[in-house]
Amino acid sequence: MHIPKTAGQSVHQLLINFLGKDKVCPARVNNQLLSYSKQEMDKYQAFSGHFDWCIFDNLPGPKFTFTVLREPRERILSFYFYLRKEANKLSQEELEVSEKQGLKAAFTLSPYDYFVNPKTSIRNFIDDHYDNFYTYYFAGRSYNGRSKLKNLIFAKTLKDTEDVLKLALENISTLDKVYHINDWQDRLEKDLSEITSTKSLNYQNYLVNQNKTIEGKDRLEKLKELGADKNVIQQIEQFCKLDNLLYKNFFPLH
């Protein structure tokens, strides 16, 4: 289950290398996958992308499910600068397309308006991608988990965010493996070799879509250079509050 900016493209390429391109579903997002019939999905042995977890509940046969995590604040900053980089490749006309409004916001809004300002027109859309995304995704088992679970909290079906974190930990514990972004490749190759009795066709270092323009340690400083003040930093810390607890549950030493 691929969380944005947790080596998803690299994992996808590794799966192709192990299993063959024809065995790995080319769909990478929900809308693409939902266009497949059950018969079409049955042709593939592996799925990797930004998917609602619940889509796979009714697939037959044994499954090996996994995800990759990274330090929550670093994921947020990496995602933000990735969106800005992608937006910079587009023309003004392309940025005006409704499907590109997320990219446009990251590129044109100030850090305050993007991360904090409640009057920002796509505030909820932005927050759904940043606000404790690990926790809400694994608790809700879908990419709109935050919206669904916030409604349940409002309706008092769930007591509070502690219940959401508990549910997230329960759900993520059903995965076969949770890898860390720093060492996922060796561990995943070993596990796939054991599962498939296959060795990688071509050993390589899988680094796809890695943002090499900004070093990890420099992203926070770069954000400050763009105008981020203490309110922005505090908001980002709030966006990590639950995710930090979830992350430390699996990687206490990182």
What's the pLDDT score for residue 156?
Answer: 64
* Mean pLDDT calculated for residue range 80-86: 97
Task: Judge contact between 76 and 126, C-beta under 8 A.
Answer: no
Residue 28 pLDDT > 50, yes or no?
yes
Rg of the chain over CA atoms, in angstroms?
Answer: 19
* Mean pLDDT calculated for residue range 166-182: 95
Q: Residues 6 or more apart from 4 whose CB is under 8 A from it?
A: 50, 75, 79, 129, 133
Mean pLDDT rounded to a whole number for the chain: 89
What's the pLDDT score for residue 253?
Answer: 84
* Mean pLDDT calculated for residue range 127-152: 90
Provide the 10 A C-beta neighbour count for residue 61.
6
Residue 206 pLDDT > 60, yes or no?
no
SS3 114: helix
Residue 154 pLDDT > 70, yes or no?
no
* Mean pLDDT calculated for residue range 153-159: 64
209-250 pLDDT, tens digit per residue, is 455 555 566 999 999 999 999 999 999 999 999 999 999 999
Task: Judge contact between 34 and 217, C-beta under 8 A.
Answer: no
Calculate the CA 204 to chain-centre distance: 23
* First-to-final CA distance of the chain: 21
Task: Judge contact between 15 and 24, C-beta under 8 A.
Answer: yes
Kindly report the pTM of this predicted structure. Answer: 0.89
Q: Return the closest-CA partner of residue 65 out of 243, 198, 192, 254.
A: 192
What's the pLDDT score for residue 45?
Answer: 92
Q: Return the closest-CA partner of residue 164 out of 198, 192, 185, 141.
A: 141
pLDDT confidence bin for 158, thresholds 50/70/90: low
Residue 208 pLDDT > 60, yes or no?
no
**Residue 227 DSSP one-character state:** T
95-127 pLDDT, tens digit per residue, is 999 999 999 999 999 999 999 999 999 999 999
* Mean pLDDT calculated for residue range 43-50: 93
* Mean pLDDT calculated for residue range 173-197: 93
Task: Judge contact between 251 and 179, C-beta under 8 A.
Answer: no
Residue 207 pLDDT > 60, yes or no?
no
What's the pLDDT score for residue 209?
Answer: 47
Provide the 10 A C-beta neighbour count for residue 213.
10
Residue 204 pLDDT > 60, yes or no?
no
